Structure 1
Amino acid sequence: MSVEGVQTSRAGWKSLWPLWALLVLLLAGAGAVWWYWPQLLWHSVNWQRSLHQELVGILQRVAEQPRQAGIALLGFSLLYGILHALGPGHGKVVIATFLATHPTRLKTSLQLTLAAAVVQGLVAVALVTLMLVVLQTTSRQLHLSSFWLEKGSYLLVIGLGGWLCWRALRQLMRLRPADGAAPPGYQLHSAGHQHHAHCGCGHQHLPDNRQLARATGWKTSLLLVLSMGMRPCSGAIMMLLFARVIGVYGWGVASALAMALGTALTVSAMALLVQSSRALALRLNRRAAPALWQRVALHSLALAGGTLLMVGGVILWLSAQPVVSGGLRALG
């Protein structure tokens, strides 16, 4: 490559600073969460315990006055789901990492968060119904089954990270130039050239609709939803257990589904924030960087996201505990 080409390459890498800044922020956030994780878990468990006590009190009133207290139960369950999702949890880490490192339609992002929350609620209802109502096992066996579902969800997080890494590496390999040939999409421009969506330089500056659909194909979407939703919500399980004991199991199911809806609202809001930040970084970057370096940076970002998910999944798998005192799990 000529000296002019090398200079252009260096300029291309430098012009990608918004995407590199996004990656640095992502890594810094992951490091901060790792450092403060024990404190977050401690406060989260205490906070959830107090909220559970309030829910149990409302559920007891439902057993005595179903019409009057039923609406209050559903409203508080929705609020609990919204607040519960603000605490630490692997599902939020998974969706935030994926959206920060992969191009995704806004509608698709919201569909994924909603589907994951609904699956999580349905898994809790199905697990308790199967173990306590159908098989009539003990609560200890129920918690053990929930624990292994949790471990399975962490394996799916590792699998999702591996799938995203393999896909990103494959795309990076396609960008590698053949011997003696210029890289795909590589062109030299004058120093004053400004890239934009209609600059006519022949470069694709942002992912098109087909690439956005491919980034969240059915395999990726299924892995993402199951890795987030297969772990049953601990709050929903506790409500279903108590509802079964006092004979208002139907209200317990309704409460669990309301919790899932509240969780979906919070996680969707977080997804909007992450996606907006990513879109801002792309807008700051697209006017200056050649198309080749944009694609290299985007696939490198996807590779970093997949790696983070694999590492996080392994850490969660190794640190998972069946239950802590009071029946609450360590992760919200």
Structure 2
Amino acid sequence: MTGRLQRVLALTGLTVVLLIVALWLSGGLSGVERWAAVQQRAAQNLMAGALRAMRAGQPGAVASLLWLCFGYGVFHAVGPGHGKLVIGSYGFGLRVPVLRLAALSVAASLAQAATAVALVWTGIAALNLGRETLTDLGERAMLQLSTLLVAGVGLWLALRGLRMLRAQTHHDTCGCGHAHGPTPAQVAQSGSLRDGLLVVAGIAARPCTGALFLLIPTWRMEIFGMGILGAFAMGLGTAFVTVAVAGLAVWARRGSLALLPPDGPLGSTARWLPGVMQLATGALIAIVSLMVLV
């Protein structure tokens, strides 16, 4: 693949993402969100029927339930949510390999399912909480916790962006040949397991409402194991969408970096772009999260 073709493909990714963002900001995706909400409600009704069929011993009821849960997860992820914002911003702001970002997307979605399982099991078995209390806990208190964690992810990204810009400033102005701190490239590559865990925790702190809808009745029906399987099937459905978001984010990042050449009159501007991207995406996450809290 030639360098020119690579540049065209990268710029295409940026164009696609900018178009999606423009549609979202202008309300052009509201129809898709309404459609996804209708499909979620339909899937919930079908899941209730599948649970009744499973209790009656009807053949194929288990497979039907798991497929419905997977579909619910897909429809849930298509609607608005902070998981896509975090994964997309993380992949756009940092130089993260696409496979690693995809793995983080899957881990975060499955961790959401695990949070729902832990909440229902602890809430009913240990605390004897009712359905309304559990649902309220998941949709309010844990939503606030998740939003705070996501805001922390945004602030952390913004701080890294500032570090990159400071490192670039020193790299451009010092010229003494000595290393007084991390280079811009080192800062950009300083992702770690801790970073990934912070992203996963921010997304997973709020359990999926659909998983609570499934887990609570399966506990009462004494088929909690099927509820757990269904919750993780929902997580895989959600991951199906967030992995696509991860790919688009990495694609858009490459397109942004392809806008400016590495050398020539605009070369210095190109060296500043990664830090600016990381600072901007981190600030966006933090501002949106704080607005949700307020």
Shared fold by TM > 0.5? yes
Contact residue 121 and residue 257 of structure 1 kept, 8 A = yes
The CA distance in 2 between the partners of 1:212 and 1:261, in whole Å, is: 30
What is the one-letter code of the residue matched to 2:224?
Y
2:129 counterpart SS class: coil
Alignment of 1:316 onto 2:283: no
Which residue is equivalent to 1:3? none
* 2:129 equivalent among 127, 137, 140: 137
What is the one-letter code of the residue matched to 2:112?
Q
Q: Deviations over 1:114-133 (max 9, x none)?
A: 11011100000110111123
TM-score by length of 2: 0.81
What is the one-letter code of the residue matched to 2:236?
L
Q: Deviations over 1:78-110 (max 9, x none)?
A: 222223211211101111122122211122111
Q: Deviations over 1:110-154 (max 9, x none)?
A: 111011011100000110111123322111221232121111010
Equivalenced residue count is 273
| Unmatched runs of 5 consecutive residues or more in structure 2 | 1-9, 176-183
1:275 counterpart SS class: helix
Rg: which structure is higher?
1
Contact residue 146 and residue 203 of structure 2 kept, 8 A = yes
1:176 counterpart SS class: helix
Alignment of 1:249 onto 2:242: no
1:180-191 aligned at under 5 Å gives the runs 183=173
Contact residue 78 and residue 262 of structure 1 kept, 8 A = yes
Q: Deviations over 1:17-76 (max 9, x none)?
A: x99x959x65x8656535538776655443321221111111111111165311221122
The CA distance in 2 between the partners of 1:66 and 1:312, in whole Å, is: 47
1:70-81 aligned at under 5 Å gives the runs 70-81=62-73
Which residue is equivalent to 2:276? 300
1:50-199 aligned at under 5 Å gives the runs 50-65=42-57, 68-146=60-138, 147-177=140-170, 183=173
- Relative distance call for 1:250 and 1:67 in structure 2 (3 A) is farther
Contact residue 56 and residue 242 of structure 1 kept, 8 A = no
- Relative distance call for 1:128 and 1:35 in structure 2 (3 A) is farther
- Answer with 283-292 or 121-130: which moved more: 283-292
Contact residue 44 and residue 88 of structure 1 kept, 8 A = no
1:148-297 aligned at under 5 Å gives the runs 148-177=141-170, 183=173, 213-214=189-190, 216-286=191-261, 288=263, 292-297=268-273
- Answer with 93-102 or 33-42: which moved more: 33-42
Question: Offset of 1:262 from its aligned partner?
Answer: 1.5
2:78 counterpart SS class: coil
Greater helix proportion: 2
Contact residue 91 and residue 250 of structure 2 kept, 8 A = yes
